[in-house]
Amino acid sequence: MNNRQESFGMDRKQFFVTSVKGAVGCCALALFDGVARAQAAEQTAADPEKIFTQNWMEDLFDTMYQDLDEKTRVQLMAGCGRGCFRRFAFKQEIARLGKGNVDRLLEAYKHNFEVWRDGTLVHIRYGRVNKQCYCPAARYHPAKPNDMHCECTRATHQTIFETALERPVPAKIVETLRRGGTTCHFVADIA
């Protein structure tokens, strides 16, 4: 090795190997970065319907809050809740299993919810504490004070009770995550 090579601390072979390793490392990073960027772009491109749905839901709820009185908003969301009952077999199954008998209805409810009876009131709760709303549609728009989306779930439970017991059963919201609670909790009055 000559003095010049000694000052750099390596010979030509070491320099070549180190350079190739560096180039391979840079190429690998560029490749992985390119793959990650392509996956992110693909996910964004694959979700235009999700973006559309989020925007549509936000427009719908903004219009409801601006242009409709509370009674009309509740009626509209209750219609969605009855539709949710018709769309989901497990909700219809709860009503079917509890047909004509409150005790059987409560047993059927226990497969999916925390439920208990306090006199004529039946409490339906989604556990003591929850981290997220279970409704997929609710994930497409931010929560608002006195969130109307919760009226949909209230109406779903009311429909289960009314279908099972074949009579009107009022249901109320005790608390919900979207309204600032720690869980979703509803009560049906079976008096």
pLDDT at residue 101, rounded to an integer: 96
Residue 179: is its pLDDT beyond 80?
Answer: yes
Residue 8 and residue 161: Cα distance in Å, rounded?
A: 83
pLDDT at residue 116, rounded to an integer: 97
Residue 15: is its pLDDT beyond 80?
Answer: no
Among the ranges given (3-17, 127-141, 165-179), the one the predictor scored with the smallest mean pLDDT? 3-17
pLDDT at residue 28, rounded to an integer: 41
Q: What is the pLDDT of residues 119-164, one digit of tens each?
A: 999 999 999 999 889 898 888 888 988 899 999 999 999 999 999 9
Residues 6+ apart with CB under 8 A from 95: 85, 105, 108, 159, 160, 161, 163, 164
Q: CB-side exposure of 110: number of CA atoms within 13 Å?
A: 8
Residue 91 is encoded by which pair of tokens?
Answer: 């909700």
pLDDT at residue 147, rounded to an integer: 93
Q: What is the DSSP letter of 112?
A: T
pLDDT at residue 149, rounded to an integer: 93
pLDDT at residue 2, rounded to an integer: 52
Residue 41 and residue 58: Cα distance in Å, rounded?
A: 24
Q: What is the pLDDT of residues 76-121, one digit of tens each?
A: 999 999 999 999 999 999 999 999 999 999 999 999 999 999 999 9
pLDDT at residue 50, rounded to an integer: 85
Residue 158 and residue 148: Cα distance in Å, rounded?
A: 16
Q: What is the pLDDT of residues 17-67, one digit of tens each?
A: 555 455 444 444 444 455 545 554 555 566 888 889 889 989 999 999 999
Q: How close are the terminal C-alpha atoms of the chain, in Å?
A: 99
* Cβ burial, residue 171 (10 Å; 0-12/13-18/19+): buried
pLDDT at residue 18, rounded to an integer: 55
Q: What is the DSSP letter of 132?
A: S
Amino acid at residue number 94: I
Q: At what angle do helices 48-67 and 70-87 cross, to 10 degrees?
A: 140
Decide: helix, strand or coil at residue 111: coil
Phi, psi of 143 (to 5 degrees): -65, 150
Please state the pTM of the whole predicted model: 0.74
Amino acid at residue number 46: A
